[in-house]
Amino acid sequence: QVQLVESGGGLVQAGGSLRLSCAFSGRVFSMYVMGWYRQAPGKQRELVASISGGITNYADSVKGRFTISRDNAANTVYLQMNSLNPEDTAVYYCNAKYGLSYWGKGTLVTVSS
């Protein structure tokens, strides 16, 4: 059973930065496609970024500002978020996918104007 634990959320002013981390356990981390999703109040959950091997994918809204990376030795995936704006306010969820899909409980990011 895969377990995912996010950390690093918080309150930041517009223009600031945060780095989210997601600790993975339970299976072979390197086999999984890892992703970050977010859900803002009243909106559907959306993909922010994903990484599979060395291939990354980003939502248009975060391209050039966010960077996803993974450390297979540490079983951890990261999301570096720069130039944050209030529209980035959401609960951010870590996802692991290899056949089945697993979710963390989320970490709240609040960007004040």
* Nearby residues of 9 by Cβ (< 8 Å), 6 or more positions away: 18, 20, 92, 107, 108, 109
CB 77 within 8 A of CB 14: no
pLDDT confidence band for 53 (50 / 70 / 90): confident
pLDDT in tens, 63-78: 999 999 999 999 999 9
pLDDT in tens, 19-45: 999 999 999 999 999 999 999 999 999
pLDDT score for 80: 98
pLDDT score for 59: 98
Collapse the DSSP code of 40 into the 3-class scheme (helix H, G, I; strand E, B; otherwise coil) and give the result: coil
DSSP class of residue 75?
T
Percent of the chain with pLDDT over 70: 100
